[in-house]
């Protein structure tokens, strides 16, 4: 993580040198500070909760949308990141339009093993740790800074944003106007993620808890396919 952040800061140092009169911050400045400080788990524990709403009316044709049940018309997701002492946990919860929990999983590497715990089905899977299985949240975003960031104002919310571009895709980090108060982020082809909680307090006892004794081990195909891809990539090097 330290090496990646150093690359980030060197690649984006020009954004801190060239002032932009229209904004209190230079393009990318707030996001660089956010990733390098608040969300840098090398410096302190990181606790982050973001939520997302997916309204199928914005994706489907009216005809297709009207065929859906109430439960299918909206999807909500809650993602909780907890990072401390070299352990990076990501808990994902999905809820349907009627408030029913569809899925609830927590993944992390601990004690040399990669765990995925399924709280809905009361199962888990465990594999030996491989390099790249688990990364801190901030590190997954650093590659977006290969091109000069842009700045602007969202006309709907009034939030100021830093915009990073990678290929044909754009990543937006939103901030309260004139402040470094981070409100959320958005990839151009997905609904925005709203920041609900961000702090340096992690409850390690619950965030990195191993599967309860009554949970049964069951192969998680997504987890195992990802592990196979990692193994295939390492063999080619």
Average pLDDT, rounded, for the chain: 89
pLDDT above 80 (res 189): no
CB 203 within 8 A of CB 64: no
Q: Where are the domains of the chain?
A: 1-40+144-189, 44-135+203-237
Beta strands across the sheet bearing 182-187: 150-153, 160-166, 169-175, 182-187, 193-199, 46-55, 74-84, 87-96, 101-110, 113-118, 123-128, 216-217
What pTM was computed for the model? Answer: 0.86
Q: Which two tokens stand for residue 175?
A: 């901030």
pLDDT, residue 14, reads 44
Nearest to 200, CA basis, from 44, 71, 94: 44
pLDDT above 90 (res 162): yes
pLDDT, residue 15, reads 45
Give per-residue pLDDT as tens, 59-116: 999 999 999 999 999 999 999 999 999 999 999 999 999 999 999 999 999 999 999 9
112 vs 5, higher pLDDT: 112
Residue 66: exposure state from Cβ atoms within 10 A (0-12, 13-18, ≥19): exposed
Q: Mark 37-47 as b/e (b = at least 16 C-beta within 10 Å).
A: ebbbbeeebbb
pLDDT, residue 8, reads 54
Torsion over CA: 142, 146, 151, 155 (sign): negative
Count helices and strands (H / E) in the chain.
7, 12
146 vs 55, higher pLDDT: 55
């Amino acid at each position: 993580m330290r090496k990646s952040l150093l690359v980030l800061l060197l690649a984006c140092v020009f954004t801190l040198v060239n002032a932009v009169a229209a904004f209190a911050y230079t393009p990318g400045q707030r996001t660089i500070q956010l990733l390098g400080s608040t969300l840098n788990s090398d410096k302190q524990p990181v606790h982050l909760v973001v939520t997302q709403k997916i309204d199928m009316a914005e994706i489907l044709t009216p005809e297709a949308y009207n065929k859906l049940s109430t439960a299918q018309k909206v999807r909500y997701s809650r993602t909780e990141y907890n990072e401390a002492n070299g352990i990076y946990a990501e808990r994902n919860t999905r809820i349907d339009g009627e408030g029913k929990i569809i899925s609830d999983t927590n993944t992390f590497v601990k004690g040399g093993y990669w765990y995925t715990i399924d709280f809905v089905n009361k199962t888990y899977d465990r594999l030996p740790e491989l390099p790249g299985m688990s990364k801190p949240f901030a590190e997954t975003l650093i590659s977006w800074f290969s091109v000069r960031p842009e700045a602007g104002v969202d006309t709907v919310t009034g939030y100021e944003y830093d915009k990073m571009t990678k290929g044909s895709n754009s990543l937006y980090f939103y901030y309260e106007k004139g402040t470094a108060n981070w409100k959320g982020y958005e990839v151009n082809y997905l609904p925005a993620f709203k920041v609900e909680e961000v702090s340096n307090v992690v409850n390690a006892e619950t965030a990195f808890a191993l599967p309860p004794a009554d949970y049964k081990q069951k192969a998680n195909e997504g987890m195992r396919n990802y592990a196979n891809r990692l193994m295939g990539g390492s063999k080619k090097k």
